[in-house]
Chain A
Amino acid sequence: MEGNIGELGQYIGVGLTAIGMGGAAIGVGNVAGNFLSGALRNPSAAAGQTATLFIGMAFAEALGIFSFLVALLLMFAV
């Protein structure tokens, strides 16, 4: 397993970048959870807000996808 130090750093960097996706997961979970608690309080208003829910989830998820992209770039393109 004797690689060079550059590859070691690359893999560590990729692993660290992957943590960013955890943040996105928390964000998306937050959005969905808050939507659900709101929807359970007022179910009649929930149906009209699903579009907003998806937009919010998309924005939260986009940042996770960015970190995924950075991980991919580190892994394959650097």
Chain B
Amino acid sequence: MISLLQEAAQSVAEHTEAAAAHGADQAGHAAESTGLPQLDIATFPNQIFWLVVTLLALYWVLSNVALPRIAAVISDRQGAITGDLMAAEEFKQKAREAEAAYDQALADARSEAAKIVAANRAEIQKELDAAIAKADAEIAARTAESEKRIAEIRESAVTDAREVAREVTAELVSSFGGNADQAAVDQAVDNRIKGAVQ
């Protein structure tokens, strides 16, 4: 155990010596300021080792965790979008059906209304016709009555006029000294009146 420790200590000491020597060398190198850091072959194993470690770690993480997750999220979103689109299509279909039903109802209501209107109109027409007929009959009756009365009035007027004319004629004839024959006077007056009326 002790020997192991001693060995380790020795190797560490050797290492530090070597490192110091190298550091001095590097310092001299830097002072000269020549040499591209990219072309310093001594650092290549270090870079390559850490690069490989990094890349393997990244590859593991990406292929096992990150990329499947992102792919899942994207396909989920695609699914959600397609689902939403289908739902929207369904809603649209429903809306279209509702619109059709509404239109149907509207048309029904309209035809019903038209029917009612027609029925009402017919009824009203009937009543109207009846009323008109009644009114016509009444008017006809009244007209007939009026005509009868007019005829009576005219008749009586004609008779009165004839009476007056006969009397006046008889008076005239007698006052002129003539012997008025009642029948002849009447005959003459009637003839005259008939001519005037005609």
Contacts and interface: CB of A to CB of B under 8 A. Distances in A.
A55 interface: no
A76 B34 CA distance: 5
B71 interface: no
Contacts of B35: 76-77
Interface in A25-78: 72-73, 76-77
The prevalent SS among residues of A at the interface is helix
Interface residues of B, number: 4
Interface in B82-96: none
B48 interface: no
Contacts of A77: 34-36, 39
Contacts of B39: 73, 76-77
Nearest to B33: A76
Contacts of A76: 34-36, 39
Interface string B35-46: 110010000000
Interface in B17-60: 34-36, 39
Contacts of B36: 72-73, 76-77
11 contacts: A72-B36, A73-B36, A73-B39, A76-B34, A76-B35, A76-B36, A76-B39, A77-B34, A77-B35, A77-B36, A77-B39
Interface of B: 34-36, 39
- What 8 pairs across the A-B complex have the smallest Cβ distances? A76-B36, A77-B39, A77-B36, A76-B35, A76-B34, A72-B36, A77-B35, A73-B36
Given A73-B39, A76-B34, A76-B39, 8 more contacts: A72-B36, A73-B36, A76-B35, A76-B36, A77-B34, A77-B35, A77-B36, A77-B39
